[in-house]
Amino acid sequence: MNIKIELEYIGTNYCGWQKQRNSLTIQQILEDVIFKLTKEKVIMIGSGRTDSGVHAKSQIANFTIQKKINLKGLKININKLLPNDIKIKKCNRVSNSFHSQFSSLQKTYLYKIKSINDLSVFEKGKIFFYKNSLEIEKLKKIASHFLGEKNFINFCKKGYSGESTVRKIESIKISKKGFYIDIKITGNGFLRGMVRLIVGSMINFCKGNLKEEQIINALKFSSKPLPRNYSVPAEGLYLIKVKY
């Protein structure tokens, strides 16, 4: 029985999605809870790994169990055992061919920024604070260079998964309301740390630390990386949608 779940979590207290030795992760917690309920050891497959401190409003995962089970009851019982910062939103049976990672067609990430006015106690760990103002038009201008199919080898962390660093960014939408800026990035897939490096490069272009030409060259030529790591913190990043 192949079961698909949709879940949300605050990633602050976890070392990302993927199971690791001697580290607390979302995948490990879910597998442990399901074992307590079903006495079956399962492998929880996520749509993609979110790094340490990254959040999710709509992470998709699937796992297989041998016994038949009431899915409504399973969702309720899993949520009873999960910590307060992780919650199952949906739980459905899917075909055996469904694979949360390999079946996905598109993902959307949201990066949340607050500028000038300091974070409240309710926002800390959930939004990136930037003390200066950011010009929306400048952000939009530099964002346009990331659109399309490109080699993002200079915009990912070491240890990226897979053989290819080519990905297609389909849209980057930037909106501002008061002190808050939202950057939504949609693509057919993302490398490790890729969204945070793209957003960080955009911000540093606005600050004057990076020239437009440097970003263009880093996207065109794998031999011309950026002069330093411009990644923004994980706390502002959310996985918000996975399309199948």
Task: Please check whether residues 68 and 111 belong to one and the same domain.
Answer: no
Q: What is the pLDDT of residue 227?
A: 87
57 part of a folded domain: yes
Last residue of one domain, picked from the residues 70, 94, 118: 94
Q: How far apart are alpha carbons 47 and 14 in whole angstroms?
A: 17
On the 0-12 / 13-18 / 19+ scale of CB atoms within 10 A, 162 is: exposed
Q: What is the pLDDT of residue 221?
A: 76
Q: How far apart are alpha carbons 87 and 66 in whole angstroms?
A: 23
63 part of a folded domain: yes
Q: How far apart are alpha carbons 156 and 152 in whole angstroms?
A: 7
169 part of a folded domain: yes
Q: What is the pLDDT of residue 23?
A: 93
Task: Please check whether residues 124 and 201 belong to one and the same domain.
Answer: yes
CATH of the domain at 20: 3.30.70.580
81 part of a folded domain: yes
Task: Please check whether residues 85 and 117 belong to one and the same domain.
Answer: no
Half-sphere exposure of 43 (CA within 13 A, CB side): 3
Number of compact structural domains in the chain = 2
Residue range 184-220, pLDDT digits in tens: 999 999 999 999 999 999 999 999 999 999 999 999 9
Residue range 36-90, pLDDT digits in tens: 999 999 999 999 989 999 999 999 999 999 988 999 999 999 999 999 999 999 9
Residue range 133-144, pLDDT digits in tens: 999 999 999 999
Task: Please check whether residues 135 and 88 belong to one and the same domain.
Answer: no
DSSP 143-208: HGGG-EEEE-GGGS-TT-SSS--EEEEEEEEEEEETTEEEEEEEES---TTHHHHHHHHHHHHHHT
Last residue of one domain, picked from the residues 46, 62, 94: 94
For residues 116-144, give the mean pLDDT: 96
Task: Classify 148 in phi/psi space as left (phi over 0), alpha (psi -120 to 50) or beta.
Answer: left
Task: Please check whether residues 148 and 223 belong to one and the same domain.
Answer: yes
141 part of a folded domain: yes
Task: Please check whether residues 167 and 129 belong to one and the same domain.
Answer: yes
CATH of the domain at 187: 3.30.70.660
Residue 160 pLDDT level (bands cut at 50, 70, 90): low
Last residue of one domain, picked from the residues 94, 124, 143: 94
CA torsion 210→215→216→219, rounded to 10°? 170
Residue range 167-181, pLDDT digits in tens: 999 999 999 999 999
User: Which residues does the annotation mark as catalytic?
Assistant: 51
Task: Please check whether residues 80 and 122 belong to one and the same domain.
Answer: no
Residue range 1-49, pLDDT digits in tens: 999 999 999 999 999 999 998 899 999 999 999 999 999 999 999 999 8
Q: How far apart are alpha carbons 84 and 200 in whole angstroms?
A: 30
Of 26, 18, 100, 25, which Cα lies nearest the Cα of 64? 100
Of 126, 110, 113, 69, which Cα lies nearest the Cα of 93? 69
100 part of a folded domain: no
The domain containing residue 217 runs over which residues? 106-243
Q: What is the pLDDT of residue 161?
A: 61
Q: How, if at all, do strands 148-151 and 128-130 pair? A: unpaired
